[in-house]
Amino acid sequence: MNQKNNNIRLLLSVVLMAVVIAFFFFREPGKNQATTKEIKPQPVLATDYILVENILDSEDSFSESFAGHLEKVCDYTKLPFRNIPLKEWNNNPQTTPTTRVLTVQNSQKLSDSSIFSLLEFVSNGGTLLLPNFNFDNRMQSFWGLKEKDDYKLDTLSRGIFFTTDYLPNLKGKAIYSDFIDAGFERANFKDDIEIFASAINNHDYPVILSNKIGNGRVICFNTNMGWKKEDRGILFSAILTGLEGIPYPIANVSTIFIDDFPSPVYDSKIEPVASEFGLTIGQFVKDVWLPDMLKLADSLDIIYTAFPAFDYNGITTPPFLFDQWDANKTIIDGNSIITSDWISQQIIKNNHEMGFHGYNHVSLLESDWPNKEYMQLAMKAAQKKWRIVGMGSLPASYVPPTNLIDSVGMSQLYGVMPLIKYMSSLYLLNLNNGCNREFDPDPWNKNVFDYPRITSGYLLDDREQYSQQSLYLYTGIWTHFIHPDDVFQIPDNANETAGHFKLRNQYALGWHKGNNGKKGMLWEFSDYLKEIKSLFPLTRFVSVAKGGATTEKWRNTNYYYTTENNSHTVYSPDSEKGEPYFWFVYVSEDNMAEIEKNLTPQSVSFYKTPFLNGFLVSVKTLTPSLTINSLEKVTKTKTVKQNNFNNHKQLLTKLLEQSGRTDTESYHPVKPSDNADYRAWVDYYLQTNQVRKATKMLHDKILDNKKLDTVLYNRYYQLMSWQSKEDRAWHLLDSVFYKSDKLATLKYTRKLSKKYGYFSERESKKWMERQIEESEDEALLTAYYNAYNTRENKEKIYRVLKKLYKKYPNRKNYTNYLGFLINNKPKEALRMLNALVPGESPDIWDLATEISWLYANNNRFKKAYDWSKYSNKIDFVNKMYWLAEIKDYETLETVYGKHIDKNPDDYKAKAFMSSVLLGKKDIKEAWILATSLPESVEKDTLKSQLNKTVLYVKPKVQKDLIAEYDELFEESVKKQIVKNIRLAEGDIIEGKSEMVGDNNNSTYFENKLSYALRDKNKNIHNISVTHSNYYANAYVNKNLPDNVDKTLVGLEYEFKKPIEENKIQYFTRARVEMDKERTLYYQGGVGASLSKKKNFTSTSLTVAPVKTGPAYEKKIYRSQLSVYREDQIKNAVRTNLYAEGNYNSDEIVEGSITGKIILDSGKDKKFKVLPFVEGYFSKSNSDEVKDYPYFVVKERVFGGGGIGLKYGKEKSKFKISIEGSTFKDEGLGDFNRLKGSASVKITDFMEFTTSGELSTQEKAYSNSIRFGLKYILK
């Protein structure tokens, strides 16, 4: 019973598992909304649904290489693909029912029966691709050859010239001009073949052709060209001829990389920018190139990714500094900022992306760095600088310097910068050097996705456009890089260049200006981008981060192909709906109308681009699926065009009978004998497609020879080139170089490079450096200079130019050498130039601009100006500046006058001249000149400077400018000047009162009302009326006849010179008074003062009645001589000294001196605490202390100190100071004193003042209080 239950459980488990498996394998994948009907396709395994098949001979390296490219193309396009092993094909020559395209690289090993299968496959509508020329007599029908026995080969026709758009936009363009096609002559072919591409030098020679057989066609490549990565596009074009109407998904992303940007910028001027703009490199990049590129991006909806490098000195050991980056500064909004910092911020501000190029321009190759730790330190320094500059988030993408990196460098990069997601080296070249990348995870780090570049430069030649369109056809990706300094790489007069690596500006175009029928580089690039946008309207120009993410998702998405109800569907069950999906589909011209009918109801966007015999249709959908109705107008049956098929079959049978071969035999060339010459073996290996053995034999033979056999090596190189292994061919030359005649080898490498080019820029540089070490050939040295005149290579360029200059001292070499020194070794350049007289050195007048700037940058402005006379590229304002710096104003005014006569609208020159006049303090002329300028930045700058300066010039000038040139004034400045003029020149009405008393008794009370008149010289004529009360002495007998009160009125005139620093100011005054009894009294005085920055001195002599009632009554007059001195000692102490001598008419003589020391910094602060000490001494000829008729003491000494408090600055509207002190007085008794003063500006022109003094000394000290009110009239 238990055993029965166990069996039942086992059976149920098996059934349940089967149901689960069936569910997952046969479940409905979901609805497809790309079409108007519901689609429920069943996923089909690749082995069940094949579109492209290839017969693979695993013993043939050519076959393997070709199969690799074909398989990768199908991998990108998601096309179902299968390799059929040669042996399997010969045993059972059948394709799958769904196969549309079959390829075979070499037909010679195919069995005869399989040839008949090929014929049947093509006749029934299939497409056969023969990608290489090889002679197999059985294939006459397939090639479209005439029926005959002797077929001639063409050994003169070269390259590929596209007579059609075999790739989009390639019609009329040519590639591989040096390659000999070596295929069948045109006369061998029938007239009805269709030619897609011909030879460059023979347009009758068919390189790519199509031959129709029955319902199908054969695509033949009549060339021995070895298939390379960049040729995948024309391979895929051939495939698409057999896949009409079958769509395939693409990434549809294009990216413009800007390498070496931002980077350090320099003040040197280099052609062609120097002539076109007269700007330095830094000025050009900041003020012209960057704005132009930003406008271009905005106009075409492009997002750039810029890749900065911070240093170009090739430093690989710590410390990793940023001297070059920080060296160049610019003024932005009045602030000095590092130019490269500002450029970086503009990139972020304009919504472009920043990637990473490295701390410096040294590739992350283990061989280029002392150790791995230094790589890390350099990148960490760059990360820190990245944050300081404000370059946004740390970068997600990386471009290796010179596009080279190795596995060690990749490890260090990712270890320091794990946010790097995308690596963008090159799609082509060598894998081991970090290039030859696919759009796949990087082989050295699966966490990094490769997003390599395919083209570069502002002008794309035919070869570069070929590479671009080749990749774009099967991926929808274009990755392109440029440099800001590409414009500077112009050719010299040399007749040799660096092989395949041409100059980036080989036509010597300007940035805006063109020549030789071409536009400037900017406009050429702009036009090409517009052409691409027009060619593919759906293309998207995105950043590396966006493009990399989109491409990675596209690569990781599974797509399925199905055929149902006479339509083809491509779909992905894994993708999300709602986001855009993009597709390509090839449609012949005859079927285009049908496709448009098919796509229009689906509500998708589509555009067509001329391609092959029709169009490449670009489609955009919002769901991950696309359905195209079948375009086949006939079915594949054996009855279709049976007669055509029979004709070809009869010819094939006839050929087999003539060769005496059986149906199962294959054709094999005759094998050489064991002792045959190596050449025979090489030919045999090539005839049997054993290319690896042929190249191995040539390789060993080359190494065996003691001397380089150039004929032998030529053949070896050609075979390696066919296998895309040029790098190994050049590496073999390394071995030969060290064991044979070096000079002979170097001479050969020069010839080889001219014919084929170097396989990499690194290899080119290495061999050229070897050549120049062994040779002093002028053309070679010049070629190296043209190719590698870069910042990081400047030391080698220096040696090359020096050798050229010493060995071949012609004008060109002289100017090249001197020009290099100016830009890179300025001190050495100055030593060469110092002995030269500009007018006597016409050979270097072409360098006059650079020489002028060299001297200017070294502050030798006289030399700069002298050389500038021989340059028409230096702005006149710069010349003015140099003359101003050496203060040669006479020459400056002369050349300025002549210049303005010819160029009356040179407002920059006028602006600078205005600033010069301002510097000379000729503000009026500067102001007048600035007023004549139109509105501009220069005028605004001058206006600001002039308004700051005009506050300190003479009022007469100020008044003239306000009256005649009012428009340049800032309102606040004008208001201040008007105010200052009124304060300095306006008439004054002033009232003053002073009351003095002893204790509670008044001594006198004076009042004065004045009107001060100022003349044109600012002299003050003060006319006053006075009213004074002088009181009797309250401490003596009031009945004394002279002890009376006196009331007087008077009239006073005073003359004062204006106060000016460092000039003596003097005054004089006279007053007449009358009391009630009409008695007249007189007084007068003279005085002078001198005010300086750190001290003040004054002296005066006055004669007046003593100010008491009894003294007036007795007519006692006092003659008084006084001296006052104040000094500010450093910023710590202020001292006051006052001396006074009096002679009274009653023959009393007295004198006194007062000294005071205050702790005061002398600075105008809002609040101050002022400690001080003070001393006093007086002496008279009086025998005793007397109070009558006035106070006098025989001798008095006191001393003490106190603290003062001061609030308010000199120009404050409210100011107050208070001073409290205590004194020791031996003669009259100790006392305390309180003094104070205050002022309030009621308006700008009305001020109230008060001051007072209070003392506790009962015998000798007078207390006082004063008031004043002043108003200044207009």
Q: How confident is the model at residue 90 (pLDDT cuts 50, 70, 90)?
A: very high
pLDDT top residue among 83 and 1002: 83
pLDDT at 7 over 50: no
Same domain, 1031 and 1097: yes
Residue type, 331: I
Q: Which two tokens stand for residue 816?
A: 């090249």
Structural domain includes residue 745: no
Tell me: the pLDDT tens digits for 906-936? 888 888 898 898 888 888 889 988 898 898 8
Q: How confident is the model at residue 334 (pLDDT cuts 50, 70, 90)?
A: confident
Who contacts 663 (Cβ-Cβ below 8 Å, separation ≥6)? Answer: 111, 112, 113, 656
CB 606 within 8 A of CB 599: yes
Structural domain includes residue 201: yes
Question: Residue 3 pairs with which residues in a beta bridge?
Answer: none
Who contacts 845 (Cβ-Cβ below 8 Å, separation ≥6)? Answer: 870, 871
Same domain, 1112 and 1213: yes
Same domain, 969 and 1085: no
Nearest residue to 583 (alpha-carbon basis) of 601, 563, 561, 614? 561
Question: Residue 1053 pairs with which residues in a beta bridge?
Answer: 1023, 1070
Tell me: the pLDDT tens digits for 829-877? 999 999 899 999 998 998 888 899 899 888 899 999 999 999 887 888 8
Q: How confident is the model at residue 269 (pLDDT cuts 50, 70, 90)?
A: confident
Please give the Cα distance from 19 to 4 (Å, whole number): 23
pLDDT at 653 over 80: no
Q: Which of 251-255, 596-600, 1120-1124 has the lowest mean pLDDT?
A: 596-600
Q: What is the DSSP string of 652-695?
A: HHHHHHHHT--TT----PPPPPTTS-HHHHHHHHHHTT-HHHHH
Mean pLDDT of all residues in 889-911: 91
Mean pLDDT of all residues in 407-434: 92
CATH of the domain at 1025: 2.40.160
Q: Which two tokens stand for residue 689?
A: 């497609």
Please give the Cα distance from 663 to 649 (Å, whole number): 13
CB 237 within 8 A of CB 210: no
Ordered strands of the 101-104 beta sheet: 81-85, 52-56, 101-104, 127-130, 216-221, 206-213, 194-198, 158-162, 174-180
Q: Which helix (H) or strand (E) holds 142?
A: helix 140-143
Same domain, 390 and 481: yes
Please give the Cα distance from 595 to 604 (Å, whole number): 12
Please tell me the total number of residues recorded for the chain in this structure.
1274
Who contacts 8 (Cβ-Cβ below 8 Å, separation ≥6)? Answer: none
CB 955 within 8 A of CB 980: yes
pLDDT number for residue 492: 58
Q: Which among 187, 222, 242 is the end of a domain? A: 242
Give whole-number Cα distances, 430 to 71, 426, 728, 762, in Å.
Answer: 20, 9, 10, 11
Burial degree of 14 (CB within 10 A; 0-12, 13-18, 19+): exposed
Contacts 24+ apart (CB under 8 A), 1048-1052: 1048/1073, 1048/1074, 1048/1075, 1048/1081, 1048/1112, 1049/1025, 1049/1073, 1049/1074, 1050/1025, 1050/1026, 1050/1074, 1050/1081, 1051/1023, 1051/1024, 1051/1025, 1051/1026, 1052/1008, 1052/1022, 1052/1023, 1052/1024, 1052/1025, 1052/1026
pLDDT number for residue 689: 65
Helix 339-349 vs helix 372-389: crossing angle, to nearest 10? 70
Who contacts 1005 (Cβ-Cβ below 8 Å, separation ≥6)? Answer: 993, 994, 995, 996, 1028, 1029, 1031
Q: Which among 242, 274, 304 is the end of a domain? A: 242
Tell me: the pLDDT tens digits for 427-472? 988 777 889 999 999 999 999 999 999 999 999 999 999 999 999 9
pLDDT at 9 over 60: no
> On the CB side of 676, how many CA atoms lie within 13 Å of its CA?
12
Same domain, 337 and 385: yes
- Judging by DSSP bridges, how do beta strands 1167-1180 and 1195-1207 pair with one another? antiparallel
Q: Which two tokens stand for residue 474?
A: 């099967």
- Judging by DSSP bridges, how do beta strands 605-611 and 614-621 pair with one another? antiparallel
Mean pLDDT of all residues in 591-613: 90
Give whole-number Cα distances, 642 to 125, 637, 1016, in Å.
Answer: 12, 9, 123
Structural domain includes residue 655: no
Please give the Cα distance from 878 to 390 (Å, whole number): 33
Segments forming the whole domain that contains residue 186: 52-242
- The neighbour count for residue 1164, using CB atoms within 10 Å, is 11
Q: Which among 537, 552, 575 is the end of a domain? A: 537
Structural domain includes residue 666: no
Structural domain includes residue 1186: yes
pLDDT at 23 over 70: no
Who contacts 578 (Cβ-Cβ below 8 Å, separation ≥6)? Answer: 622
Q: How confident is the model at residue 234 (pLDDT cuts 50, 70, 90)?
A: very high
Structural domain includes residue 684: no
Same domain, 468 and 336: yes
pLDDT number for residue 292: 97
pLDDT number for residue 657: 64
CB 626 within 8 A of CB 247: yes
CB 570 within 8 A of CB 233: no
pLDDT number for residue 743: 83
Same domain, 62 and 41: no
Please give the Cα distance from 23 to 722 (Å, whole number): 50
Same domain, 495 and 576: no
Mean pLDDT of all residues in 756-777: 80
Who contacts 550 (Cβ-Cβ below 8 Å, separation ≥6)? Answer: 251, 252, 253, 542
Q: How confident is the model at residue 1175 (pLDDT cuts 50, 70, 90)?
A: very high
CB 424 within 8 A of CB 399: yes
Please give the Cα distance from 1176 to 1156 (Å, whole number): 9
Structural domain includes residue 996: yes
Radius of gyration of the chain (CA): 50
pLDDT number for residue 707: 84
Secondary structure class of 740 (helix, strand, coil): coil
Q: List phi, psi (to 5°) of 769.
A: -70, -35
Same domain, 56 and 21: no
Who contacts 213 (Cβ-Cβ below 8 Å, separation ≥6)? Answer: 119, 122, 123, 141, 142, 644, 645, 648
CATH of the domain at 523: 3.20.20.370
pLDDT top residue among 218 and 704: 218
Please give the Cα distance from 575 to 845 (Å, whole number): 67
Strand ranges, E, within 589-648: 605-611, 614-621, 625-629
Which ranges of 777-825 would DSSP assign to H, the alpha helix? 778-788, 794-807, 811-824
Same domain, 625 and 562: yes
Same domain, 128 and 211: yes
Max mean pLDDT among 554-563, 638-647, 1080-1089 falls in 1080-1089
pLDDT number for residue 349: 94
Give the number of domains in the chain: 5
Secondary structure class of 543 (helix, strand, coil): coil
Mean pLDDT of all residues in 1222-1244: 92
Mean pLDDT of all residues in 251-263: 97
Structural domain includes residue 944: yes
Q: What is the DSSP string of 1010-1068?
A: EEEEE-TT--EEEEEEEEEEE---TTS-TTSTT---EEEEEEEEEEEPPP-TTSEEEEE
Q: How confident is the model at residue 669 (pLDDT cuts 50, 70, 90)?
A: low
pLDDT number for residue 952: 87
Ordered strands of the 353-354 beta sheet: 353-354, 304-307, 253-259, 477-482, 455-456
pLDDT at 365 over 80: yes
- Torsional class of 831: left (φ above 0), alpha (ψ -120 to 50), beta (otherwise): alpha
Please give the Cα distance from 962 to 446 (Å, whole number): 76
Who contacts 827 (Cβ-Cβ below 8 Å, separation ≥6)? Answer: none
pLDDT number for residue 502: 66
Strand ranges, E, within 312-350: 329-332, 335-338
Residue type, 419: L
Mean pLDDT of all residues in 243-254: 96
- The neighbour count for residue 300, using CB atoms within 10 Å, is 14
CATH of the domain at 209: 3.40.50.880
Same domain, 383 and 271: yes
Please give the Cα distance from 741 to 701 (Å, whole number): 17
Nearest residue to 128 (alpha-carbon basis) of 49, 211, 69, 193? 211
Q: List phi, psi (to 5°) of 952.
A: -110, 10
pLDDT cut 70: percent of the chain above it: 91
Nearest residue to 490 (alpha-carbon basis) of 508, 465, 478? 508
